[in-house]
Every structure is written in C-alpha cells, then in structure tokens.
Amino acid sequence: MQSIKRILVVLDPSREDNVALVRSRLLAGYLGAELHLLVCENRRDYSDMLDELCESLDTAGIRARYTQTWQSNLTDTIIRTLLAEGCGLVIKQHTPDNPLKKALLTPEDWKLLRYCPAPVLLAKGSALWMHGKVLAAVDLGGHDDQHQGLRDAIVRHAADIARMTSGELHLLSAHPAPMLSAANPIYQLRETILEIYMEKARRYITEYDIPESRTHIDEGPADVLIPRVAEQIGACVTVIGTVARTGISGALIGNTAEVVLDQLSGDVLVLKPDDMIDHLQDLVEK
C-alpha cells in the first residue's frame, strides 16, 4: 500500500455517517497520501460542504481536493475521476443491496469491483480498525503467475493494514474436498490436500510471522469459509482478490468477492491481478 499517494473517496452527501471518509483519513495519515473527494451528483451543488471538509482535512495535516460531477452512471463517474486524478485506491461506503433488486439488476458496487482499474475498499461498518483483526483471504490452489502475484498482493496489503493499526494478521484459504476419482492420488486424501495447501502457505506464515492460531486453511467453498472465519475472529477488514468476471460467466459462476460482500460485517478491500488492472485501464482510455 506504500505506493498509493492519492486516494479517491466517494461521498454520499445524503448520509450522516461517513465511514468512507473515516477510513480514508486513517489511510491518508499512514501513507502520507492526498485525498480526492468525489460527489457523484449533478442536481445540487455541494461545493460549500466539500470546501469545509477540505479545510478540516487540511487542518488535520491531510491534503485534500474535490470534484462534483456525473457521467452516464455511478461506476463510470468514479472510474473516470479515478483516472483523471491519478488515484491508486477507491474508498466507498457500501450498504447491503435489496435481494430482489440484486436478482434483477447488477448492483453498482459489483460493477465497481468488476471494472475499476484500481483496488477498491468498500467500507461497511463503524467498527474501528485500530488493534483489530485483518483477514487475508487467498486462493492457494492457483498455479499460474497471475494467481501468485494476486496472492502476494493480498497478503502484503493485509499485512500493511495490520501493521498500520497495530492489529492481528490472519491468513485464510479454502481447499477442495478429496475426490476418489482424481487422477492424481494426492487429491484423493484430505490429509495430503491439507499438506499441499499448508506448504504453499508456509512462505507467508514465515515472512509475516503468522502463528498457527491465525492460519485458517479448511475444506469447503471459499464463499462459505470466508464469512464464517471473518465472523469467528471478528475481522474488521477482509482483503480478497477477484478475477472480475463479467457477462454470462460472471452471472453463472459469480465472483467470490461479490458473493461474500453482503455476508461480511467488516470492511472489504478487493484487489485484482496487475494484468487485469492494465487491461481495464486500456478499455476505459479507449
């Protein structure tokens, strides 16, 4: 996270609670980053409110600017402002979506997770991060460079947050159930599968000094295991990756980050592989 020097904070002026702003102040203070406040609205002028916020932040030693604008939709407005201002992180408050509406329409925050060419922190609760528990949820089953790079980034970001907040870093990975029909006999026994995943986790356990009590590697679907462990440990923030599937494959398979979003009570930081970030940025610039 140390490379992030400007943070885009999406504000909803209709809300009295502003969790996104609280999180952004904490991160800006730790990273020495500048904040860029964004109000996605074209029906009413909020410049007075934004001027006051920037003055308040400046008094606290945090540089801040703002934009009020509206493009064709919320996601497009956020992404275009992100690129125009050179921000390396988006922070936005998330509220659970109506189940019926979610079944008919893709929620805006899902679109943001799929198309945003930068990490996205969705702030959900009022729980304090200081001395909290930070959960790094990784897929240790992937073998390619894309998965490896994404895993490294997830644990690194989670470790940065834990260090910044004097908190506890936890590591989680879900592994598949044994299959007697598997061609490789290693995947026919639960014990050998667990051993493989533990071996892959060992580099993170060693590098970040994660004790066994904070290492959660278990059998089952990731979208079931992540909310369960997050609730058990009381995670204030969960760091997770997404491959940002879109179209039919996204609708049928689903992205783990999207599926668990409303099940987690704490904040969610979502990362993408570097090559996907580059691809999304190219699409927007075209």
* Burial (CB count <10 Å: 0-12, 13-18, 19+), residue 146: middle
Contacts with 132 (C-beta within 8 Å, 6 or more apart), sequence order:
165, 167, 168, 234, 235, 236, 237
Nearest to 242 by CA among 78, 120, 155, 95: 120
Could you tell me where in the chain the CATH 3.40.50.12370 domains are found?
133-285
pLDDT at 2: 81
Task: Give the C-alpha separation, 143 to 140, whole Å.
Answer: 8
What averages of pLDDT result for each successive group of 10 residues across the chain (286 residues)?
A: 92 88 94 96 94 96 96 94 96 80 74 92 86 95 77 95 96 82 61 87 95 94 94 96 57 67 93 69 59
Q: Which CATH architecture has domain 6-93?
A: 3-Layer(aba) Sandwich (3.40)
Task: Give the C-alpha separation, 69 to 177, whole Å.
Answer: 49
pLDDT at 231: 96
pLDDT at 177: 80
Contacts with 260 (C-beta within 8 Å, 6 or more apart), sequence order:
222, 223, 226, 227, 238, 240, 268
Q: Which fold has domain 133-285?
A: Rossmann fold (3.40.50)
- SS3 call for 260: helix
Could you tell me where in the chain the CATH 3.40.50.620 domains are found?
6-93
Query: In this structure, what token pair is assigned to residue 47?
Result: 């410049």
**C-beta separation of 161 from 1 below 8 A:** yes
Tell the residue number behind the tokens 């189940």, with chain if given.
99
pLDDT at 250: 40
Query: In this structure, what token pair is assigned to residue 227?
Result: 């909310």
CA angle 27, 70, 242 (to 5 degrees): 50
